[in-house]
């Protein structure tokens, strides 16, 4: 056991040294079996202990990864503070619907963590680019990004992950419920969902739009309608 511990400490120290040499670059310093272990280390780094002196010259966070709880850190001392890492990112993905014949298919904006689910490292949140393609004669624009860690995100996994995220706006609520098949293609179900969650104004707007369209309004059309009204209400 003591040998293992010493090995871990040496690897941790070496990782910290190499992170210090690459200012602003996030490095994975360690993986812990528990959240508690990783949080202790994050606290030590953010408070400038040992390898991480002086206080304020390092940033660290802990994130779930495939083999436990990873601690990622970057050295930010000796220069201007780099842009902070946001917690979440909103991306447009292609959604094929759940039925044959692509009924209800379209582009969904979903919110996911900026942390790669495999290694916990930052995703390419600051390198999101529009990706256009044609499908059945229709032009579609979704988002594409590359993660610095090299792990690739696929839309199906991003969609599944988005279902776990918290919703703040009526538009996010509808999109998440639709992706999770909690509501169906028709916008009246979106309106009912909004009412159930206390968004009475947005629910009334959607019902009005359903009426305007003579009863033919899909959930994703309602989403678009709310987005055009003003950034998700």
Can you give the binding site for Zn ion, defined by CB under 5 A? 116, 118-119, 121, 149, 151
To Zn ion, the closest distance from the beta carbon of 31 in angstroms equals: 12
Closest to Zn ion by CB, 151 vs 163, is 151
Place of tokens 């950034």: 231
Q: How many angstroms separate the CA atoms of 176 and 191, rounded?
A: 14
Q: CB 150 → Zn ion: shortest distance, Å?
A: 7
- Shortest Å distance, C-beta 147 to Zn ion: 6
Query: Shortest distance, CB of residue 114 to Zn ion, whole angstroms?
Result: 11
Q: What span, in angstroms and rounded, lies between the C-alpha atoms of 115 and 125? A: 9
Please give the backbone phi and psi of residue 110, each rounded to the nearest 5 degrees, phi first.
-125, 155
Between 110 and 116, CB nearer to Zn ion = 116
Q: Give the CA distances from residue 204 to residues 86, 134, 189, 208, 230, in Å, rounded to whole numbers and listed in that order.
A: 33, 34, 12, 6, 15
In three-state secondary structure terms, 19 is: helix
| Minimum CB distance to Zn ion smaller for 48 or for 148 | 148
Q: Which is nearer to Zn ion, 112 or 119 (CB)?
A: 119
Q: How far is the CB of 89 from Zn ion (least distance, A)?
A: 14
Whether residue 108 contacts residue 179, with contact meaning beta carbons closer than 8 Å, is answered with yes
Here the tokens at position 139 are: 């032009």
Tell me, what DSSP letter sits at residue 100?
A: G
Q: Are 50 and 41 in contact (CB under 8 A)?
A: no
Rank residues 117 and 232 by Cβ distance to Zn ion and give the closer one.
117
């Amino acid at each position: 056991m003591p040998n293992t511990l010493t090995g871990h400490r040496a690897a941790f120290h070496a990782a910290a040294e190499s992170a210090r040499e690459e200012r602003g670059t996030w490095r994975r310093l360690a993986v812990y079996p528990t959240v508690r272990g990783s949080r202790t280390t994050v606290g030590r780094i953010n408070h400038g202990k040992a390898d991480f002196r002086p206080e304020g010259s390092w940033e660290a966070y802990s994130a779930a990864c495939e083999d436990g709880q990873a601690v990622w850190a970057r050295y930010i001392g000796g220069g201007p503070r780099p842009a902070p890492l946001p917690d979440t990112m909103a991306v447009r993905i292609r959604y094929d619907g759940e039925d044959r014949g692509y009924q209800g298919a379209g582009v969904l904006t979903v919110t996911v963590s900026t942390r790669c689910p495999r290694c916990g490292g930052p995703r390419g949140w600051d390198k999101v680019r529009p990706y256009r393609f044609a499908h059945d004669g229709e032009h579609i624009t979704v988002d594409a990004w590359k993660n610095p860690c090299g792990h690739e995100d696929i839309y199906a996994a991003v969609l599944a992950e988005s279902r776990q995220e918290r919703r703040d706006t009526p538009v996010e609520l509808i999109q998440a419920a639709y992706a999770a098949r909690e509501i169906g293609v028709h916008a009246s179900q979106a309106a009912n969902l909004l009412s159930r969650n206390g968004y009475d104004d947005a629910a009334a707007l959607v019902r009005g739009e359903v009426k305007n369209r003579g009863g033919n309004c899909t959930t994703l059309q309602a989403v678009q309608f709310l987005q055009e009204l003003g950034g998700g209400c």
